[in-house]
Amino acid sequence: MKLSFHGHSVVKIETNGTNIYIDPFITGNGMTDLKANDTKADVILLTHGHNDHVGDTVDIAKRNDALVVAPFELATYLGWKGLNTHPMHIGGAHDFAFGKVKYTQAFHGSAYTDEENQQIIYTGMPGGIVFSAEGKTIYHAGDTALFSDMKLIGEQHDIDVAFLPIGDNFTMGPEDALIAADWIGAKKVVPVHYNTMPVIEQDPHKFANKVKTGEGIVLEAGDEIDI
């Protein structure tokens, strides 16, 4: 399995010939190396409905006829836009041909903002994603505060790589993310959701160097690792 980071919370998984993107926020993401109209995806996994996570999902999914997996309300909303969706919800898991997806809790909000019409569209509960394939497991925490049930996520799953937000203000900051890393017990910990805007500016290397449980790794946009 090959993993790559593409700025903000965008993670690409390549497994068994399938290209999977988590939260493909590309247009408007000054930290990414991707171009939305060149992105090829077979599957898109979404943690929640905020614009900086749904991102370019509609365009990418329509162009590639990609499957979109998302929490129920968000999947329903995107289905109304003509996408091929598979709805899930917190605590639920499903075995797909490309791997197993399980949604965990995340303490955050979830709504899509229609700026033009000044509407906020409710998109259900936010989530994290535990993804397993090829005997490997990754955890993408989505946008979340620190919560004690992260201990259970670590106890229930042998996590190879955890992607944890460190930006603060909207999510956990570095201090709380270090606690989360200890609780989750992943072999590798990659910081995400930082430096995309001034209010979430952080030093990812400082965070990674302080990770005690597992190895802290900073991935620049476009960097990839094999697990």
Confidence of residue 81 (pLDDT cuts 50, 70, 90): very high
Tell me the chain's radius of gyration from C-alpha atoms.
16
- Measured CA to CA in angstroms, residue 222 lies from 4, 81, 174 at distances of 6, 30, 22
Tokens 């959701």 belong to: 193
Structural domains in the chain, CATH included, are 2-218 (3.60.15.10)
User: What pLDDT digit, counting tens, does each position of 17-30 carry?
Assistant: 999 999 999 999 99
For the stretch 180-189, pLDDT in tens is 999 999 999 9
Q: Provide the residue type at 221 as one letter.
A: A
- Residue 105 gets the label, from left (phi > 0), alpha (psi -120 to 50) or beta, of beta
Beta-bridge partners for 106:
none
Predicted local distance difference test score (pLDDT) of residue 28: 97
- 37 pLDDT tier (thresholds 50, 70, 90): very high
Determine the pLDDT at residue 26.
98
166 neighbors 175 (Cβ within 8 angstroms)? no
pTM, whole model, 2 decimals? 0.98
